[in-house]
Amino acid sequence: MLIPKRVKYRKMHRGRRTGIATRGATVAFGDFGLQAMEACWMSNRQIEAARRAMTRHVKRGGQIWIR
């Protein structure tokens, strides 16, 4: 999993997720994208599970970018 090497505090303030995305709604790389249906915080385990599922689906024929 992708995690930072060293951080000062283990947990961070969550803040609030309001409104809809305007800047991050377009696909930056490739032809297809995975989009969340509602505003939420995704954990690193959820991102890793999605990455594994996509890797299995595309097999050797494609590339996956996570931003």
Total count of domains within the chain: 1
Q: Is residue 66 part of a domain?
A: yes
Q: What is the separation, in whole angstroms, between the first and last Cα of the chain?
A: 14
Question: Are 66 and 24 in contact, with CB atoms under 8 Å apart?
Answer: no
Percent of the chain residues topping a pLDDT of 70: 91
Mean predicted confidence (pLDDT) in 24-31: 78
Residue 58 lies in a domain: yes
- What is the model's pLDDT at position 53? 92
Residue 48 lies in a domain: yes
Q: Which two tokens stand for residue 63?
A: 């590339």
Cβ within 8 Å of residue 58, ≥6 positions away: 64
50 in any annotated domain: yes
Is residue 65 in some structural domain?
yes
In a domain, 55, yes or no: yes
Nearest-angstrom CA–CA distance, 67 and 49: 15
Confidence of residue 38 (pLDDT cuts 50, 70, 90): confident
pTM equals: 0.61
